[in-house]
Amino acid sequence: MTTSADTRERSLAALVHETLERNWREGERRGVHYAYTEPSPGRYPWQWYWDSCFAAIAWRRFDPLRSRAELETLLAAAEPDGFIGHTIFWRRPVTLRRYLFYNVTSRDALMTRTVQPPALAFAWSLAVGDPREDPRVVRHHEWFTRERDLDGDGLLWVLQPDETGMDASPQFDPVWGRRAQGAPLFPLLVWRNRRLGFDIRAVRDAGGPILCSVLTNVLHGLSRLALGRPSITPALVARLWDERAGLFRNEAWPVSPAAPVTWAALCPLALPDLPEAIGRRLVEEHLLDRERFWLPVPPPSVAADEPSFSLRDRQFGLRRYWRGPTWINSAWLLWMGLVRLGYDEQAAELAARVSAAVLREGLREYYDPYTGAGMGVKDFAWSALALELLDESTGGSEQPRR
């Protein structure tokens, strides 16, 4: 490593460590000890499921005990059947205003009745150890298969856009229309699904829509591999790969309308067993396209030539996430594919551009893909993943820790 790269890595590590420390929270709720990283103080005071998985991965470089504590806190919220919600309200109950659009069945609920992408076993394997040795982790992932693999082909379905972690992404607009997240009628979707107990089979029986999401299944696939279970990559390719377009598409039910291309169409690049020819098409025909994904700070959350691509993150006073800016977890997942497939120069370029933006702007929620300007909240924990891009040992070829 050159001296300047070394200095960059050290400065970024210091910034990341400082931010994680600042966001760390410990306490007790009804006799249960909790310890986790707030996604961002103020706006996000609770424990968010996939944020915690990413934070645990980042903590392993500074304090592995915190990685374990973070994931143990998710497990402490688990119900006996393995269910863990999308947001866990350890510190205080959900506010009345948020109750309107949060997926809870009552205001004093410990957590939402919806989920986020099942990344726990994957995070555990990177940051803690062998997830097969902990029956609670196994039970949690079995919940997903039992409750969300609706067709028995190994792929999971979601009942609302926010279950994918990409709340207002335009990939969901044609499916949920005016009831999509970030659209004015989203609370109606939440109220309807609340009435159905946020039970996906009940939502399907009521006519849907429900969605087989590429990103959800990629994290599910990574967790399955970490658990030593058969890979779902062949099922993902069979169902969601669009051979003509050379990218992956969600499938919706009962109808699956055409949808804008977002970074999620490329995220199977993170799967270590993705067929190489598919990976190369994702990289060469899409990711490296300077007009669409290979912007100065890639990858934008939506291909820049899509009419829905936008850097405005508010409309009519509503926050609209994932409609253009670059998020660091996405950069990491796509970078894994570049490393694995031997696109060394491009992987290094991505790492340099992302880390320069994060170093200059601090850990922000997302970044302007043209200028690198920080956007959204400050001190956003999962942007700590920028550090992963400077460490090639965490590229897609890494074996989970044993």
Query: Which chain residues interact with ligand GLC by CB under 6 A?
Result: 39, 44, 48, 50-51, 165, 167, 321
The kind and range of the H/E element at 212 are strand 210-212
Half-sphere exposure of 394 (CA within 13 A, CB side): 21
Beta-carbon contacts of residue 375 (< 8 Å; ≥ 6 apart) = 311, 313, 325, 364, 365, 366, 367, 368
Q: Beta-carbon neighbour count of residue 204 at 10 Å?
A: 17
Local structure of 244: helix, strand or coil: coil
Whose CA is closest to 137, among 78, 182, 222, 216? 78
Reported as half-sphere exposure (CB side, CA atoms, 13 A), residue 16 has a value of 27
Length of the chain (residues): 402
* Beta carbon of residue 42, minimum distance to ligand GLC (angstroms, whole number): 12
Q: Which residues contact 352 (CB under 8 A, 6 or more apart)?
A: none
Q: How far is the CB of 323 from ligand GLC (least distance, A)?
A: 11
What are the percentages of helix, strand and coil residues in the chain, rounded to 5? 45, 10, 40
Cα separation values, 122 from 128, 267, 355, Å:
10, 15, 23
Element (H, E) at 242: strand 241-242
Nearer to ligand GLC, 98 or 139 (CB): 98
**In angstroms, what is the minimal distance from the CB of 181 to ligand GLC?**
9
Other CB atoms within 10 Å distance of the CB of residue 72: 18
Nearest to 183 by CA among 195, 196, 170: 170
Q: Which is nearer to ligand GLC, 198 or 294 (CB)?
A: 198
Query: Which lies closer to ligand GLC via its Cβ, residue 55 or residue 350?
Result: 55
Omega before 254 within 30 of 0, i.e. cis: yes
Q: Please, are residues 49 and 84 in contact by the beta-carbon 8 Å criterion?
A: yes
Residue 167 vs 368, nearer CB to ligand GLC: 167
Joined tokens for residue 22: 């600042």
End-to-end CA gap in the chain: 28
Tell me the closest approach of the beta carbon of residue 258 to ligand GLC, in angstroms. Answer: 23
Residue 166 or 278: the one with the smaller Cβ distance to ligand GLC is: 166
Tokens of 370: 């043209």
Q: Smaller CB distance to ligand GLC: residue 365 or 368?
A: 365
The residue sitting closest to ligand GLC, measured at its beta carbon, is: 39
Q: How far is the CB of 5 from ligand GLC (least distance, A)?
A: 30
Q: How far is the CB of 139 from ligand GLC (least distance, A)?
A: 23
Q: Measured from the CB atom, is 272 or 324 closer to ligand GLC?
A: 324
Q: Per DSSP, what are the bridge partners of residue 57?
A: none
Q: Shortest Cβ distance from residue 167 to ligand GLC (Å)?
A: 4
Q: Which helix (H) or strand (E) holds 142?
A: helix 135-148
Choose between 112 and 233: whose C-beta lies nearer to ligand GLC: 112
Q: How far apart are CA 195 and CA 365, in angstroms?
A: 32
Q: Which is nearer to ligand GLC, 30 or 314 (CB)?
A: 314
Q: Taking the complex as a whole, how short is the minimal distance between the CB of residue 8 and ligand GLC, in angstroms? A: 26
Name the minimum Å distance from CB 88 to ligand GLC.
12
Q: Which residue number, 125 or 181, has a Cβ lying nearer to ligand GLC?
A: 181
Residue 138 burial (10 A CB sphere; 0-12, 13-18, 19+) = middle
Minimum separation from the CB atom of position 215 to ligand GLC (A): 10
Shortest distance (Å) from residue 165 CB to ligand GLC: 4
CB closer to ligand GLC, 157 vs 321: 321
